[in-house]
Chain A
């Protein structure tokens, strides 16, 4: 199983919206609505932000949303805030689990 493909970095200004893509194949992202997204601040454990493609765990801001089209899943963060600056990882079910390579979000 190969890692899912994410852009290495994205950036945006406070208040703007950004989208992070996560491209897989018909064997993982394309076959299951089981993509999750994680936020990781430096030196911290990852935090679940989205599961089952578009569902938010309790306590996660509604500024975070997820979607999927074909073999590509996306995470959108609206109303960017300074504290959103972090690394973001996607993860898909594929009989097992496969992660994306991660995207560094910079809030300008």
Chain B
């Protein structure tokens, strides 16, 4: 069964860049059947889709975040990563990585999530 695990700093200073990595086990990021997504959830609030990447490197981002987001994939390490620049307190959230089924356009397997706090 596929498993996803987020990793990265839990505290980021305002105006800096948030960087997270998702390590996939039990499956391959090189599979043509899936996109690999990042989704976040501010404390006590709802889910917000950030974007996804395909193994080829093609990406699709949330228009509201597009200017600050970069998602990349490393097939040799079976990982994909998120960078969010110029962060503010509004970017404080639990960040989830997820496998996204291409045909269904739905994330089916999710990581446990990691809380990232933006604070000086």
A residues with CB within 8 A of B: 1, 3, 32, 34, 36, 38, 45-48, 51-52, 55, 57, 89, 91, 93, 95-102
Contact = CB atoms under 8 A, between A and B. Distances in A.
A98 B47 CA distance: 9
Instruction: Report the interface size class on chain B.
Output: 20 to 34
B61 to A, nearest CB: 7
Nearest to A100: B46
Contacts, number: 62
B75 interface: no
19 contacts: A1-B63, A1-B64, A34-B106, A36-B105, A36-B107, A45-B111, A46-B96, A47-B110, A51-B104, A89-B47, A96-B51, A96-B61, A97-B49, A97-B52, A97-B105, A98-B49, A99-B47, A99-B48, A100-B46
Interface string B29-50: 0000000010000000011110
Interface of B: 37, 46-49, 51-52, 60-64, 96, 101, 104-108, 110-113
A30 B67 CA distance: 28
A51 B47 contact: no
B37 to A, nearest CB: 8
